[in-house]
Amino acid sequence: MAPLTPIQVSQYAANSYLLVSGLIPEEVAERAESALWQLLQARPDDRATWPQKTAHQAYDSPELLECYTEGMLGAAAQLAGEPLESVGAPNRAYAINVFPTPGEWKWPHPHIDHAIKEHGHKTFPRAFRIAAMTFLSDVPPHGGGTVVWPESHALLEKLALSDPSRFESMWALNQELSQVALGDPIETTLRRGDVLFYSYLCAHAGSQNVSDHPRLALNAKW
Ligand SMILES: [Fe+2]
């Protein structure tokens, strides 16, 4: 059965992203968070053990991969407009953890993914079907939540279609992002087990974590 409602699917199409609260069952998310702390060789209650800056790392951990439940993968397929069984579990869990840093929180600059020049990703057909951030810690305001620009997908698609040869690559489109009137961004706040899905043309950004707790999350793309 499709995990999401037609309204959620419409919201994703309109906004370029969808936050699904509690999509990962609490016991699964809790096990994954504990496993990630062990992999980091750090303890949540001992700040001295925390890494100093944002860390990207892929892991084989079964506890992390368990987050890619049937419901989660089905939701990804549903939003991507594909048959439910077409989105498979990733082979590795790719963690992007944002550790607290001092300083004043600022709105970050937007980007689109798959926009590294050397990687050569094309804008059409879509560079990937869908992306998901699965959160393994609670994230308060200014705690490193993903920032999204609602409706940015439609704006960027329109721009790309206005000159398909100029914007043939995701890199070229991303270069132009600062010239697009994207509107006001939204800073997401999250609970462990929440999943933020976003489309391949959704302008988004990581943000600084000035809270007193690390932000733990997994990123996946299909
Ligand atoms: Fe990104």
pLDDT digits (tens, 9 = 90+) for 6-49: 999 999 999 999 999 999 999 999 999 999 999 999 999 999 99
Is residue 118 one of the residues assigned to a domain?
A: yes
Distance 174 CA to ligand 1 centre (A): 11
Q: How far is the centre of ligand 1, averaged over its atoms, from the C-alpha of 114 (Å)?
A: 8
pLDDT at residue 183 in the model: 95
- Backbone angles phi and psi of 136, in degrees to 5: -115, 10
Ligand 1 centre and the CA of 208: distance in Å? 14
The closest alpha carbon to 12, from 79, 82, 81, belongs to 79
Confidence grade of residue 66 (pLDDT, cut at 50, 70, 90): very high
User: What residues make up the domain containing 185?
Assistant: 6-221
- Taking the centre of ligand 1 as the mean of its atom positions, its distance from the CA of residue 129, in whole angstroms, is 14
Q: Is the pLDDT of residue 101 over 90?
A: yes
Distance (Å) from CA 145 to ligand 1 centroid: 12
> Does the pLDDT value for residue 94 go beyond 90?
yes
Banded model confidence at residue 111, pLDDT cuts 50, 70, 90: very high
Report if residue 78 sits inside a domain.
Answer: yes
> Rounded to the nearest whole angstrom, what is the distance from the C-alpha of residue 82 to the centroid of ligand 1?
22
Ligand 1 centre and the CA of 218: distance in Å? 12
Q: In angstroms, what is the span from residue 26 Cα to ligand 1's centroid?
A: 26
CB 119 within 8 A of CB 169: no
Predicted confidence (pLDDT) at residue 54 exceeds the cutoff of 90: no
Q: Read off the pLDDT of residues 196-217 as tens digits, 9 standing for 90 and up.
A: 999 999 999 999 999 999 999 9
1 in a domain, yes or no?
no
* Number of domains, the chain: 1
Residue 52 has pLDDT above 90, yes or no: no
The radius of gyration of the chain's CA atoms, rounded to the nearest angstrom, is 17
Tokens representing residue 105 in the block: 């929180």
pLDDT at residue 165 above 90?
Answer: yes
109 CA from centroid of ligand 1 (Å)? 11
**How high is the pLDDT of residue 55?**
81
Question: If pLDDT is split at 50, 70 and 90, which confidence band does 1 have?
Answer: confident
The answer to whether residue 44 is domain-embedded is yes
User: pTM for this structure?
Assistant: 0.97
Q: Identify which of 183, 119, 125, 182 has the alpha carbon closest to the alpha carbon of residue 156.
A: 182
| Mean pLDDT within 116-126 | 97
CATH number at residue 102: 2.60.120.620
Neighbours of ion ligand 1 (CB under 5 A): 113
% the chain with pLDDT above 70: 100
Classify residue 217: in a domain, yes or no: yes
